[in-house]
Chain A
């Protein structure tokens, strides 16, 4: 089982510049989480604090019970061996070719023979689509390849926690889709706890079990994916839909004058940058057929059902809709009267009944049984 990460009251500043304060969250073992946030809100700094590369001012970060912030150096190095980290631009060793880069952790930490090392390295390179590029130096390959090589190196020791800093930046959409699938498959195979920092909304909607968001030096929210995906929070809505209208500006915060001006322009018909409302719950990516079921996902169901009553209405409905009838019986949850599971929200003012049903997916069996009458939540505003 993957390691559990408990973060409490973590605060970080550089000199006078506060980056974020009082971040409290819990990465449950074996689950996949995503951290969203506008550029420059300190997501990379957050990852680096989690592995003890940067020292937070306050708070604690416990990995399997070891507080990274305060433990001894020896303990820190021990704990770091549990991690596989993909840095924002790969961070490959420039003087070694890809093969040696990926082999590095194996040679440093294991007593494997060179043939075993070779087998593992080639396997990981193949997994990330880099077969044939073993002899290239990091300076001789594209940014996307560097990224994938960085991932291969992060995976080579079968880590219990995988941290990915923007795995998708510099990758084309197709490779990103493969990468998402790769992460989910990995999670199913080795049950590692995964935290992904990304700007990619599609990845954030389909991959994780939990989503969090950093904004204005705070953790705006962190919780089951359904909560953030159906959130009313203006920041979340703006970020998910990628529009200019809202609290996030070009520099991190917007003043009210700018906000009013933009609202005025938008009301006058000026395009606000977004296309359609991307909020709403979409089916989660599943492991490739043939792989074992994700243990993390099973544990998550138990966990989420227990806190179900504390979640906001739309999220609760979404979660209930995602359970099979057997599971509902198992947990003693009554059949939902109305569900709109399996339906993404579509922009437009169609009467709810006229919105086309998406092709039924097995994850949403109840969608046909009960009359699908209304979307999770009416769209807000006329933006």
Chain B
């Protein structure tokens, strides 16, 4: 692999990126092609949900708590206690929830997808399927990508709720905030597009995690150890990618949607 691209540094990476995009396009096209593999989709959605729900819930509570505590203490130093609720809710819904979701969808769901597809690739199952005239992208990958997107959106909703509840609990019980102020500030700063942007982010993160996992799964380094390496790489690549995409999307959102207190 590397010896081929040794002449121009970075060419190999560009090539891989290009192929990743090509697969992403293929998958996007596949999303609209019939017949739709409903059974595979439901099975995969169920599977991904079952491996991600519990860890997500467990991570969401401390996440909500940290944000709430940090924001609460900061706000009280600035004398803006009345905005504690709003601030921590915004941070949770817009940033924390999609990222927690993404990390878990990539770490738990994506790695499972990558290992599954990778094992099928080295056992020539993918080749066999292609030779039987069935597109592996259409038959296997598209349902997984859709399942991943669906689960990401649902998890994002769940993390938002748990995070907000956790934040409320910690603010009111531990930091002595008043329930009334917390709830009132909710509507002062937060607005509906904040929730939408969180969900859209989750949707896109789910898509990216599944595409990267499938790409590494379809092109693993040779041998059984290669599949292990592929899983590892897919998680790392996804993490990096998601954080970059998150920054870009946040910037766009802040430009496009005017803040409520202008």
One digit per residue, 1 when the CB lies within 8 angstroms of any chain B CB and 0 when it does not, for chain A 64-83 equals 00000000000001101101
Contact pick for B125, options A78, A85, A93, CB 8 Å? A93
Q: A16-B3, A16-B4 known; A80 and B133 CB under 8 Å?
A: yes
Bound Cα distance from A51 to B131, whole angstroms: 7
Asked whether B132 lies within 8 Å of A53 as measured between CB atoms, the reply is no
One digit per residue, 1 when the CB lies within 8 angstroms of any chain A CB and 0 when it does not, for chain B 178-189 equals 000000000000
Does B16 make an interface contact (CB < 8 A)?
no
Number of B interface residues, CB 8 Å?
17
| Residues 107-137 of A at the B interface (beta carbon under 8 Å) | 108-109
One digit per residue, 1 when the CB lies within 8 angstroms of any chain B CB and 0 when it does not, for chain A 123-156 equals 0000000000000000000000000001001000
B39 to chain A, nearest CB (A): 11
Does B135 make an interface contact (CB < 8 A)?
yes
Does A362 make an interface contact (CB < 8 A)?
no
Does A15 make an interface contact (CB < 8 A)?
yes
Does B11 make an interface contact (CB < 8 A)?
no
Q: A15-B4, A16-B3, A108-B134 known; A87 and B120 CB under 8 Å?
A: no
A59 to chain B, nearest CB (A): 20
Q: Which of B123, B124, B129 has the most CB of A within 10 A?
A: B124
The residue on B at minimum CB distance from A78 is B133
Does A365 make an interface contact (CB < 8 A)?
no
B70 to chain A, nearest CB (A): 46
Q: A15-B4, A94-B120 known; A81 and B127 CB under 8 Å?
A: no
The residue on A at minimum CB distance from B134 is A108
A146 to chain B, nearest CB (A): 11
Does B58 make an interface contact (CB < 8 A)?
no
The interface residues of chain A lying within 8 Å CB-to-CB of B129 are 93
Does A364 make an interface contact (CB < 8 A)?
no
Bound Cα distance from A104 to B3, whole angstroms: 40
The interface residues of chain A lying within 8 Å CB-to-CB of B120 are 93-94
Asked whether B127 lies within 8 Å of A105 as measured between CB atoms, the reply is no
B residues contacting A by CB (< 8 A) are 1, 3-4, 119-120, 123-125, 127-135
Across the A-B interface, the 9 shortest Cβ-Cβ residue pairs: A91-B128, A91-B124, A81-B133, A80-B133, A15-B4, A85-B131, A105-B132, A77-B133, A87-B124
A-B contact pairs, 13 of them (CB 8 A): A15-B1, A15-B4, A53-B127, A77-B135, A80-B131, A83-B131, A85-B131, A87-B128, A91-B123, A91-B124, A91-B127, A94-B119, A94-B125
